[in-house]
Structure 1
Amino acid sequence: MPNSLLKRTLVVSALVAVGATAAVAPAQATGRFHNPANIAHHGASAAAPENTLVAIDLAYDQGADYAEVEIQRTSDGELVAIQDAGLARTTNVEEVFPGRSPYLVRDFTLAELRQLDAGSWFGAQFAGERIPTLSEVIAEAGYRDGIVIEIRNAALYPGIEEDVRDELAANPYYLVRALLLNKLVVKSASVDSANAFHALAPYVPVGVIYDFRPADADLVAVSEWAHEVDIVTSVADEAHIDRIKELGLKVSVHTVDTETLMTRYIDRDVNGIVTNVPALLAGLLD
């Protein structure tokens, strides 16, 4: 049996053995919480360069329950944490590799990305920070801290859902414990991508991210297989939040960076708040 298939088999077997209790069925995801989950957007991205290990580690230090990272794929098939399809905004790629415009993540190997500085753009004290792999993000979180994996720009990377599934399966002890402790969610702004990942790994909680107000029919359809929905503050009114919960979905709101908005959504009993300033939210939740 190929090693990757063996690992997936072991993971699935372990989940069956424990009753797959972490993979809460959509209809069971309606529990109300005293406090929402503190979800650090790209890590503690108001204080450190986004999607780097230093930002992720700082988020946990500041009280985040989860670090949310965006995952894309290199030209040689490695999964890395970066938000933009291009490298220019958050790295020195134009200096290191002049003439390779438009500097897309998918056009560079992991070895090439390792040569880039992903910290100096944010501050001199972060010089030398690198773009991390998904495997490194998992290692940074360990068993205690949560990760939200966002499959980013899915249309640019056919088959990336299977790659994410395989990367998680390659860390079977992490995966089983993370699921049992409710420390892992996979999300995408692409409904098709989120659904494809769910079909490949139904034991992993999955969510859809909306930057607009979805039609009710779309929410109904998503509720048949998803566990969570993320919505932006511009559409996150009380009626909308209640409707999402009514459909058996957890709801997170983002991006929320002021005390006023945080207090509003805490009072509305959302399941999660996505923020660039997890320390501020942690202080309100104490």
Structure 2
Amino acid sequence: MHARVVAVAAAVVLGVAALLSPTSDARAGDVGETTVIAHRGASAYAPENTLASIDKAAQLGFSWVENDVQRTKDGELVVIHDDSLKRTTNVEQVFPGRAPWKVKDFTAAEIKRLDAGSWYSPAYTGTRVPTLKDYMRRIEHNHEKLLLEIKNPELYPGIEQQTLKLLGNEGWLDQKHLRRLIVQSFSADSIRTVHNLRPAITTAYLGSPTVTKLHEYARFTDLVNPSYAMLSMGYVSAVHSFDGPHGRPLRVFAWTVNDAATARRVAGYGVDGIITNKPDMVRTALRSN
């Protein structure tokens, strides 16, 4: 292993690209070998993390969408990015005395009362924060694929087990659906837990471990998903040189790319996927590259 790490480090220094293909299943929204993932749904065109945003992604021709999962006070899994309800709902008006309006301090019934669309546009007034159960059923209806982020797991002990139980109840842990599912987190411990509980699930770590640490992450994660600002061709090559827990080369999905020039540059590094609020723009940029 030591010799391999040294060789990988040399590849980073020299910027040598040993680019390997992602998994072979065809995906709507792919451009060449680069998968385009709609971040929080098509969130440039509809309120993020709502059913409307994944419907919009489907309308644009993209099957891969990304979301964020957190938990209510009474134990319901909901799809929302921030640990506070303040930015993307009207919680301040509905519950003015309950600052700082943390998701974990509200019941599912209370959150269901909130408007999660009017902050984005009057056209989306009345849009709700979806439960993960409702979200998965819409994903299934739309024939989409999901990059599911377990958000802030330190706030929600046991959320990994609960998420997997819900996915199983919704039929998403059979072989057919596992090809359409990736579970990711900024927490290495959370992803390690998911891998240990359900080794067949494809997992992703959000971040950019040092090259000398990649062999440790390769034991429990199939992808390393960094911010595009942290990437270089050498780093992508280094990630690709390790095999993950399923015996396939580690892959790289870069986030969050929202302009054409950056999309073309990052694709040139050899990434396997690009996560974006504007999937149609990225698709156009890569096709014209």
Measure, in 1, the Cα distance between the counterparts of 2:213 and 2:113: 43
What code does the residue aligned with 1:31 have?
A: S
What code does the residue aligned with 2:144 have?
A: D
Measure, in 2, the Cα distance between the counterparts of 1:175 and 1:56: 22
What code does the residue aligned with 1:44 have?
A: A
Instruction: State whether structure 2 residue 268 is matched by structure 1 residue 276.
Output: no
Structure 2 match to 1:158:
157
Query: Residues 69-98 of structure 1, C-alpha deviation per residue, up to 9 Å, x if partnerless?
Result: 000001111110000000001100111112
What code does the residue aligned with 2:209 have?
A: P
Matched residue SS, 1:168: helix
Picking from 184, 192, 201, the partner of 2:189 is 192
Measure, in 1, the Cα distance between the counterparts of 2:231 and 2:146: 23
Structure 2 match to 1:172:
171
Shift in Å at residue 285 of structure 1?
4.9
Question: TM-score, normalised to structure 1's length?
Answer: 0.84
Structure 1 match to 2:226:
231
Matched residue SS, 2:126: coil
Measure, in 1, the Cα distance between the counterparts of 2:61 and 2:241: 29
Measure, in 1, the Cα distance between the counterparts of 2:103 and 2:168: 24
Matched residue SS, 2:200: coil
Deviates more, 1:122-131 or 1:139-148: 139-148
Structure 1 match to 2:3:
none
User: Larger RCO: Structure 1 or Structure 2 (Cα < 8 Å, ≥ 6 residues apart)?
Assistant: 1
Structure 2 match to 1:110:
108
Instruction: State whether structure 2 residue 60 is matched by structure 1 residue 62.
Output: yes
Aligned in 2, Cα 1:216/1:266: closer, same or farther, shift over 3 Å?
closer
Measure, in 2, the Cα distance between the counterparts of 1:218 and 1:162: 26
Matched residue SS, 2:101: coil
Aligned in 2, Cα 1:37/1:68: closer, same or farther, shift over 3 Å?
same
Any conservation in 2 of the 1:43–1:56 contact (CA below 8 Å)? yes
Measure, in 2, the Cα distance between the counterparts of 1:243 and 1:53: 37
Shift in Å at residue 173 of structure 1?
6.0
Shift in Å at residue 105 of structure 1?
0.3
Aligned in 2, Cα 1:173/1:264: closer, same or farther, shift over 3 Å?
closer
Aligned ranges 1:110-259 → 2 under 5 Å: 110-142=108-140, 144-172=143-171, 175-179=174-178, 182-210=179-207, 213-247=208-242, 248-259=249-260
Aligned alpha-carbon RMSD (Å) = 1.7
Matched residue SS, 2:49: coil
What code does the residue aligned with 1:204 have?
A: I
Shift in Å at residue 47 of structure 1?
1.1
Structure 2 match to 1:8:
none
User: How much identity, in percent, do the aligned residues show?
Assistant: 37
Structure 1 match to 2:8:
none
Measure, in 2, the Cα distance between the counterparts of 1:208 and 1:238: 19
Any conservation in 2 of the 1:255–1:273 contact (CA below 8 Å)? yes
Which structure 1 residue ranges, 5 or more long, are not aligned?
A: 1-28
Any conservation in 2 of the 1:37–1:65 contact (CA below 8 Å)? no
Q: How many residues align?
A: 254
Shift in Å at residue 284 of structure 1?
3.8
Matched residue SS, 2:252: strand
Measure, in 1, the Cα distance between the counterparts of 2:285 and 2:230: 23
Any conservation in 1 of the 2:263–2:286 contact (CA below 8 Å)? no
